[in-house]
């Protein structure tokens, strides 16, 4: 068992860390207040190859792997969590789905352009009345010659306001039992007649991450845009979530580390009752808990990413990594606000933003309730997802 990063992975970390310091941190506060989509930064990230770590060179990637991807996401999220969304849409749940399940024509048409941000992608799963219960989605597609006609709506879709293309999951056989077997996956494009978008602007956090709704009204999608086979959509989506949880866990670790960094700095600067506030045992306990939780989360994250690099199913490991990291992230953000006291409630300091951004990690790519159910169901022997390796 080797816990050391390779020289290549250390170089990836340095590149991402330097980029965050130079390109992201100087503008993050302004963008958070104005809710501005940071397109220039995202394009620069694409130029650095940040979205291509998990992709072969044939399709424009660097083939550095999922551990390298996780390292990059952590460093970027530590500076600005809103930017983590793009690691899913431009790297994992959108183009990786096409890479893993699409035809060669689909791969050639979309994968390279997505990871280079020549196209902005979406992964449209959630609906207004179906989030965690994905098998109960209502959006449907009916065959019509060489097309499928889609009707329905998708909600809380990252990149929806700026999308060029992406994958959408719909019911193609609503009568089949069990119901998850009637879901299929299609590639969509923004200019398809019958597809419209609506931005969601009022959010607690992640203000610079464009989020919205996709509305399908007799939207005609060519049969050639089917990803995988009819009825295979649920399996495709669950596989995408395994990879997506690696990204979410990495983002949560990044935010937790940012909370640690800000809290340590403040503890060594702020004085009360004639001494540094870091000398108070209660603050030391908070710092210790934050560090321990974040280190544990990072190890779980790297384990899941390592298995992904070895092409070993990692549903159990990525779910645990996401669960622990997201809970740790929220706790670290709360502790950071408590350490800052009244200033923690002020937008003058970054911990207020970190607290608002942290909450989403308990929801993205499966809520904490769902990840708990997956872990417990495996442990109880009811639904095994853990594999021997």
> Both 216 and 154 in a single domain?
yes
Q: Residues 3-24: pLDDT tens digits?
A: 899 999 999 999 999 999 999 9
Among residues 206, 231, 256, the one where a domain terminates is 231
Residue 33: the pLDDT is 62
118 is catalytic: no
**2 pLDDT higher than 90:** no
Q: Across residues 146-163, what is the average pLDDT?
A: 97
Quick check: is 19 in a domain?
yes
Q: Across residues 355-374, what is the average pLDDT?
A: 94
> Both 219 and 93 in a single domain?
no
CB atoms within 10 A of CB 280: 15
Structure tokens at 55: 């992709």
Instruction: Count structural domains, the chain.
Output: 3
**268 pLDDT higher than 90:** yes
Among residues 207, 231, 255, the one where a domain terminates is 231
Asked if 365 and 371 count as a contact pair (C-beta separation under 8 A), the reply is no
Backbone angles phi, psi at 50, to 5 degrees: -65, -30
Residue 142: pLDDT band with limits 50, 70, 90: very high
Residue 32: pLDDT band with limits 50, 70, 90: low
Residue 101: the pLDDT is 98
Give 21's contacts (C-beta < 8 A, 6+ positions apart): 79
> Both 125 and 92 in a single domain?
no
> Both 244 and 368 in a single domain?
yes
Among residues 85, 115, 145, the one where a domain terminates is 115
> Both 222 and 284 in a single domain?
no
How far is residue 84's CA from residue 86's CA, in Å, rounded to a whole number? Answer: 5
> Both 218 and 268 in a single domain?
no
Structure tokens at 344: 């923690």
- On average, the pLDDT of the chain sits at 95
Quick check: is 331 in a domain?
yes
Residue 176: the pLDDT is 86
> Both 239 and 227 in a single domain?
no
CB atoms within 10 A of CB 57: 9
Residue 257: the pLDDT is 98
Counting every residue written for the chain, the total comes to 389
Catalytic site residue from 23, 80, 262, 365: 365
For residue 312, the enclosing domain spans 235-379
**31 pLDDT higher than 80:** no
Alpha-carbon distance values, 332 to 23, 150, 387 (Å)? 25, 43, 31
Residue with tokens 């992201």: 24
Q: Residues 173-206: pLDDT tens digits?
A: 988 878 889 999 999 999 999 999 999 988 999 9
Residue 34: the pLDDT is 64
> Both 240 and 334 in a single domain?
yes
> Both 309 and 374 in a single domain?
yes
Quick check: is 2 in a domain?
no
Quick check: is 385 in a domain?
no
pTM score, whole prediction: 0.95
Q: Residues 85-131: pLDDT tens digits?
A: 999 999 999 999 999 999 999 999 999 999 999 999 999 999 999 88
Q: In this predicted model, which residue has the larger pLDDT, 22 or 1?
A: 22
Structure tokens at 285: 């306990």
How far is residue 112's CA from residue 55's CA, in Å, rounded to a whole number? Answer: 9
> Both 212 and 303 in a single domain?
no
Q: Residues 300-348: pLDDT tens digits?
A: 999 999 999 999 999 999 999 999 999 999 999 999 999 999 999 998 8
């Amino acid at each position: 068992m080797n816990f050391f990063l390779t020289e290549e992975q250390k170089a990836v970390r340095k590149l991402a860390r330097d980029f965050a310091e130079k390109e992201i941190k100087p503008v993050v506060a302004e963008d958070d207040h104005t809710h501005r989509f940071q397109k220039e930064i995202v394009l620069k990230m694409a130029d650095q190859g940040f979205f291509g770590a998990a992709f072969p060179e044939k399709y424009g990637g660097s083939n550095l792997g999922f551990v390298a991807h996780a390292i990059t996401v952590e460093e970027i999220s530590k500076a600005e969590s809103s930017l983590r969304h793009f690691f899913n849409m431009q790297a994992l749940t959108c183009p990786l789905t096409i890479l893993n399940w699409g035809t060669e024509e689909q791969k050639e048409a979309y994968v390279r352009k997505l990871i280079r941000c020549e196209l902005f992608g979406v992964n449209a799963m959630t609906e207004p009345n179906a989030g965690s219960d994905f098998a109960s989605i209502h959006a449907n597609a009916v065959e019509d010659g060489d097309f499928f006609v889609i009707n329905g709506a998708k909600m809380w879709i990252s990149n929806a306001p700026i999308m060029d293309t992406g994958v959408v999951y719909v019911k193609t056989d609503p009568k089949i039992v069990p119901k998850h077997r009637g879901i299929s996956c299609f590639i969509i494009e923004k200019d398809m007649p019958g597809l419209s978008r609506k931005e969601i602007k009022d959010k607690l956090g992640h203000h610079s991450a464009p989020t919205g709704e996709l509305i399908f009204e007799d939207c005609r999608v060519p049969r050639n845009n089917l990803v995988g086979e009819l009825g295979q959509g649920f399996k495709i989506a669950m596989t995408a979530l395994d990879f997506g949880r690696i990204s979410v866990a990495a983002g949560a670790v990044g935010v937790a580390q940012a909370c640690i960094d800000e809290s340590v700095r403040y503890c060594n600067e702020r004085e009360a009752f004639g001494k540094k506030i870091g000398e108070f045992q209660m603050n030391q306990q908070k710092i210790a808990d934050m560090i321990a939780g974040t280190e544990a989360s990072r190890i779980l994250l790297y384990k899941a990413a390592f298995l992904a690099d070895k092409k070993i199913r990692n549903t159990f490991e990525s779910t645990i990594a996401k669960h622990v990291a997201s809970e740790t992230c929220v706790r670290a953000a709360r502790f950071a606000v408590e350490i800052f006291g009244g200033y923690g409630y002020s937008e003058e300091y970054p911990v207020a933003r970190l607290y608002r951004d942290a909450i989403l990690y308990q929801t993205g790519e499966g809520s904490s309730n769902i990840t708990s159910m997956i872990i417990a169901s495996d442990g109880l022997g009811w639904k095994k997802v853990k594999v021997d390796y």
